[in-house]
Amino acid sequence: MAVLDIVRLGHPALRTPAREVASEEFGSPALERLIDDLVETMRAAGCGGLSAPQVGAGSQVFVYEVPPSEAPPATPPRSSAPPAEAVPLTIVVNPVLHGKPGRMVHDWEGCSSVPDLLGLVPRHPEVRLRGLDREGQPVDRVVSALESRIVQHEHDHLNGIVFLDRMRDLKSLTYSSEWSSFVERGEQGERTAVV
């Protein structure tokens, strides 16, 4: 396993749709290494998710994980929102998402490929996630809350989309050092997800 460089906005990999992983690639050294490296790089960067294009690989793979100790607290501290849930390590290949129709939820997001910036991003509160795990076995489940946000963010990376493209209003875009006072001015959003 190796910690890879995470590419940043401007690198063409972030704007190039990833290709589907073929069935014969499951179990191959190349795919196994990519998955292991994604997990190690995500953990080293301290982010909640990472997609293959972010390490310059063009296949439809992402990983995500929120350890219990790192689940972001509700912000501001006085908020009545419950603490964010931990999310176990999950590896998804060739994902397909279906958002439930209904109200989108705005909350704060950042991205290790767009370092130091946060913005309010609308996401489906619940999505059905289908795809394959690292062994090529089907994944089919409904995810909600923070996990739903992470999955939509990572799925976007596989289509050349970054969170800035999903913001309805760039006025909420803020540097993390300015973010605390920004939120305390009563803007919406309950917690951050840097993914």
Binding site for Ni ion (CB under 5 A): 111, 195
Q: Smallest distance from the beta carbon of 29 to Ni ion, in angstroms?
A: 26
Q: Smallest distance from the beta carbon of 19 to Ni ion, in angstroms?
A: 19
Give the separation between CA 84 and CA 87, rounded to whole angstroms.
9
- Are the C-beta atoms of residues 173 and 63 closer than 8 Å to each other? no
Between 63 and 111, CB nearer to Ni ion: 111
Between 111 and 183, CB nearer to Ni ion: 111
DSSP string covering 154-168, please? HHHHTTT--HHHH-S
To the query of whether residue 154 is one of the catalytic residues in this protein, the response is yes
Q: How many CB atoms are closer than 10 A to CB 32?
A: 13
Task: Please identify which of the residues 65, 109, 154, 190 carries the catalytic annotation.
Answer: 154
Burial of 5 per CB tally in 10 Å (0-12, 13-18, 19+): exposed
Task: State yes or no: cis peptide before 76, omega within 30 of 0.
Answer: yes
C-alpha distances (whole Å) from 6 to each of 71, 139, 160, 164, 187 are 22, 26, 15, 17, 30
- Are the C-beta atoms of residues 111 and 162 closer than 8 Å to each other? yes
179 backbone dihedrals φ, ψ, rounded to 5°: -70, -40
